[in-house]
Structure 1
Amino acid sequence: MKNTNILVTEFDVNGSKVILTDFMPCSSSRDAWAAPPEIHRMLNCVEGHAKFLIDLNPRFDYGRVEPEVKLDGANAVFKGPRDEMVLASTLRLKRTKSGKVRQEFEMWSGDREEFVLSYGEAYPRQVEAYNSTEQLRRTELFWRSWVKRLKYHGRWRSEVIRSALTLKLLVYGPTGAIVAAPTTSLPESYVRDGNWDYRYSWIRDSAHSLWAFHLLGDTSEAARYLRWLIETDPALDLNLRLMYNIQGQPVVEEQKLSHLEGYRGRRPVRVGNAAAHQFQMDAYGYLLDALFFSTKKEVSVSGEMYYRFVKPLAGFIVDHWQEPGNGIWELRGKKQHYVETKAWCYAGLERAVSIARISGHKRDVSTWKETMKAIKREILSKGWSQRKRAFRMRYGSDDLDSANLMMPLIGFLRPRDPRVVSTVDAITKELAQ
């Protein structure tokens, strides 16, 4: 459905037409965020006659727990040791000997069936109690109202809006936390085992999302995210975690689930992420960048915020920017001096200087500016590959890195600087497909 995250599918077979509407309820009401997660499915037969099949056989805990299944007329309840799920419907449901819910049914012109799958709900309700029609109205209003506030009217507007709607789905409503992905272990490549668990809120990835929202005219997400981050981790200064789960807790230890296969049979399936323990200095720059853009719109920098966050974050960069790390690509193994990381240290200090000027806290500006000069000198000398005529991925290597395309965007060099132009050309030639 245009300008929403409501999925409408039309089935047109042998003169019969059925419209399927799927959505997850959301609205601006605070009560909506307290409700269990639900998927609503509404099936309308517009013309002719059609046959359908319900086939539901869920497993909990990544397939390791087979739930107890109880039928109650038009409802099915699935219970495990720590999980509950309810399927409410307008149909009388049946269960097979193997325990799955399986039901064939027919629809004629004018017929309508509704289904609600609710997670975390232990006791069934009649499907009418979920009020799918009203929930659909509220959900459509929520999405269309949000899109109406966006200020982008340039080229490819429909594609940009669809991308923005997808990005908005990654925001956890109750807190403002932004996850990098809604599922785990989609393969990065078919030639490597690059199946990772990205269902967490990275500071770096969140900053990119906030930047995108900012460019589209939605500045509210930055304020919500920063409030969540500050409430989650009051010691952001010297113990900055790279990522959190959506409840603001540390990421679980990484493990491989050998009993599962991923998308198109790709393995391994992973839960947790060992990169949570890596050292990535660019995260400090990204966070200061997000703070800077927020101060221009939604968040005022009080003395408390400056001394609790801005000054310590900038001070940490001053003290540690010369240390190696794992970089934006979170490469496992020996720590290296990544050019992208150094550039973001420079950008973070530049944002701290700007925040200090806006808020009237200028005592540390001279130190930060001197460090910026030192970082820039080092990048221009050690980060430049004379052989490739481009900025390298890491010191001592001629490998290229597409992350260095961010340099002009974050203000490290002008877009028309010959070194930027040459780097873009080299990356396009060597890395683009």
Structure 2
Amino acid sequence: MSTLALGIIGNCSVSALVDDKARILWWCLPRPDGDPVFHALLGSNGAPEDGAFAIEVEDYSHSEQHYIENTAILRTRLIASDGSTVEIDDFCPRFLSRGRVFRPAQIVRRIRPVTGRPRIRIVLRPRFHWGSARPEITSGSNHVRFVSDGTTLRLTTDAPITYIRDETFFVVERELNLFLGPDESLTSRPATIGREFQEETEYYWKRWSLRLGLPLEWQEAVIRAAITLKLCTFEETGAIVAAVTTSIPEAPFSERNWDYRFCWLRDAFFVVRALNALSDLETLENYLAYIRDVIALTKGDHIQPVFGIGLEAALTERTEALPGFRGMGPVRVGNQAHEHHQHDVYGNIVLAAAQAFFDKRLLRQGTMEDFRHLEVIGDRAYMLHNSPDAGIWELRTRSRVHTSSSLMCWAALDRLAKIANQLGVNPKHWRSRANEVHAKICAEAWNEDVGAFVESFGGADLDASLLLMAEVGFIDPLDPRFVSTVDRIGEKLRRGNHLYRYHAADDFGRPETAFNVCTFWFIDALGRMDRREEAREIYETMLSCRNHLGLLSEDTDPQTDELWGNFPQTYSMVGIINGAVRLSRRWDKVV
């Protein structure tokens, strides 16, 4: 069962969410962290249709929906009670043109009759300023303009303009094309451009998918996850958003409603790492440019864990007046995490950058100057490895020395030693520091009474982030201490085939839903420990929790398998890829 029957379309400049009835319920402009001109996903303060772009078939019976194979083009069939059917293809154009990628802030919708004489109506009601402003509407012979405070959206179409303005049902007897985006005229007939844009966009995504290095098993799931991660990138700067939404609660009426339309350096590292495993290096190169800008911006001082996709440092949190997802407010804009000290960020930066010093395929190799900048990051990691912070789960009212933060500080020092060695620099300085921090973690984070590493130095609670110890190379996965930690985590945090982040109460009480990426970390740990059958069983459970289009949000209710939290969640889609790469049978064993 899924509460989020949504698909994502996009082009690495903008992204939108379309439900299973072909209604566009979420689209932010001018970029993914902007004003949602379609905000119906979070409710409306007017009519239910406000803040949405719907194509409705008269006497609706049911729908069918899927992506065109290996693309980001979403196809929906709306079927009336008499069997009359209309088909809608939704996409944001993305293809190579004149030596660069063409990716306008535009949605294209192509409508065609399939059977019978379907009657449809087009309901297009963008709103501005988080739903508070209705636009002025003007129109011409082939377009409708929506104007508000200097922002203008233009719909250009070969559908009847009068019927669109009046929201009138009409018979679809031929293919119709709708282009919604900047206030610019088309250079040719809508039918011609619609066909060309779709063909070129389909070709782009199929060629992109073709270059992926896939595991033998679960290929459809992996391809869909990879395309989804790509759609969560903001190519202009190289930033990667954690999700394209804000304020979908982690659990019903929990008020755990956060804005995830920003670039967490932690999440982004896991995204590029997963895509690297599939041989997509373009995303990494773009992200490394973003990281270099972050380092230049901060000049070696405190680095916050999250930035805006345009390097904005201030992400001041506020609430808006929309009712919220299924009426479950608040709707938050911005994220207080930008004020936090989360010391794992230094490890995430170095881990992401390290590949540039070893991978000869990259267009821009890591340089000695890059290494010197990373050494400044390493100095802070060493200085802060034993200091309290908000931790990976961004606790708002409690600070302690979190093991996961110290772990990533160690990872920064360890990778700097390896990079130094690669560059012909004596690695002794960084290796000595890494060894010191390693010994500190082993001494302070191991709790003999619990029989496991624990979430903070001197603590007694368990935390799923400890599962990353093997992934980052801190400990051998067959080390008895790690095996015992995994077992204790399974005993305390596992509910069925789902894993919670932790069991202790936080700022909002005890977590009510399982955190999907933690389940995938558990799967990975089991796979590393040669408990593959157990890992595969849990992995299949997670795949069954995806929505009808193969997408996951942040959280899952272990009792109902309902999806909760922001969507689609990059962490969760990363887990799909990592699980398949870890557990799949090998190509050379069957081919």
Structure 1 29/383 Cα, relative in aligned 2: closer, same or farther at 3 Å? Answer: farther
- Matched ranges for 1:7-406 at <5 A: 7-13=74-80, 14-29=82-97, 36-94=104-162, 102-108=167-173, 111-118=174-181, 121-125=182-186, 128=189, 131-190=193-252, 192-231=254-293, 233-236=295-298, 237-257=300-320, 259-297=321-359, 298=362, 299-307=364-372, 309-362=373-426, 365-406=427-468
Question: Unaligned 5+ residue runs, structure 2?
Answer: 1-67, 496-591
Structure 1 232/75 Cα, relative in aligned 2: closer, same or farther at 3 Å? Answer: farther
Aligned to 2:583: none
Classify the secondary structure of the residue corresponding to 2:456.
coil
Aligned to 1:6: 73
Aligned to 2:49: none
Q: CA deviation at 1:8?
A: 1.0
CA distance in structure 1 between the aligned counterparts of 2:286 and 2:435, rounded to whole angstroms: 33
Identity %: 30
CA distance in structure 2 between the aligned counterparts of 1:426 and 1:217, rounded to whole angstroms: 35
CA distance in structure 2 between the aligned counterparts of 1:291 and 1:15, rounded to whole angstroms: 55
Return the TM-score normalized by structure 2: 0.68
Whether contact under 8 Å (2:253, 2:328) holds in the other structure is no
CA distance in structure 1 between the aligned counterparts of 2:436 and 2:421, rounded to whole angstroms: 21
Structure 1 101/177 Cα, relative in aligned 2: closer, same or farther at 3 Å? Answer: farther
Whether contact under 8 Å (1:347, 1:410) holds in the other structure is yes
Whether contact under 8 Å (1:90, 1:127) holds in the other structure is no
Q: Out of 26-35 and 328-337, give the one that drifted further.
A: 26-35
Q: CA deviation at 1:133?
A: 0.9
Aligned to 2:523: none
CA distance in structure 2 between the aligned counterparts of 1:82 and 1:422, rounded to whole angstroms: 61
CA distance in structure 1 between the aligned counterparts of 2:104 and 2:166, rounded to whole angstroms: 21
CA distance in structure 2 between the aligned counterparts of 1:72 and 1:321, rounded to whole angstroms: 63
Structure 1 residue runs of 4+, over 6 Å off?
Answer: none
Structure 1 93/32 Cα, relative in aligned 2: closer, same or farther at 3 Å? Answer: farther
Q: CA deviation at 1:165?
A: 1.0
Whether contact under 8 Å (1:323, 1:337) holds in the other structure is yes
Residue type at the aligned position of 1:11: L
CA offsets per residue over residues 160-179 of structure 1, 9 Å max, x none? 11111111110112232111
Whether contact under 8 Å (1:243, 1:251) holds in the other structure is no
Whether contact under 8 Å (1:75, 1:126) holds in the other structure is no
Q: CA deviation at 1:232?
A: 5.2
Classify the secondary structure of the residue corresponding to 2:234.
coil
Q: Using CA pairs under 8 Å that are at least 6 residues apart, name the structure with larger relative contact order, 1 or 2.
A: 2
CA distance in structure 2 between the aligned counterparts of 1:35 and 1:271, rounded to whole angstroms: 26
Question: Unaligned 5+ residue runs, structure 1?
Answer: none
- Say what the alpha-carbon RMSD is for the aligned residues: 2.1
CA offsets per residue over residues 31-58 of structure 1, 9 Å max, x none? 7756641111111112211011111121
Classify the secondary structure of the residue corresponding to 2:95.
coil
State the number of aligned residues. Answer: 422
Q: Out of 172-181 and 343-352, give the one that drifted further.
A: 172-181
CA distance in structure 2 between the aligned counterparts of 1:30 and 1:424, rounded to whole angstroms: 52
CA distance in structure 2 between the aligned counterparts of 1:33 and 1:252, rounded to whole angstroms: 29
Structure 1 389/30 Cα, relative in aligned 2: closer, same or farther at 3 Å? Answer: farther
Q: CA deviation at 1:333?
A: 1.4
CA distance in structure 1 between the aligned counterparts of 2:87 and 2:289, rounded to whole angstroms: 41
Q: Out of 63-72 and 143-152, give the one that drifted further.
A: 63-72
Q: CA deviation at 1:226?
A: 0.8
Structure 1 28/405 Cα, relative in aligned 2: closer, same or farther at 3 Å? Answer: farther
Whether contact under 8 Å (1:77, 1:124) holds in the other structure is no
Q: CA deviation at 1:377?
A: 2.0
Residue type at the aligned position of 1:304: E
Q: CA deviation at 1:389?
A: 1.6
Whether contact under 8 Å (1:172, 1:178) holds in the other structure is yes
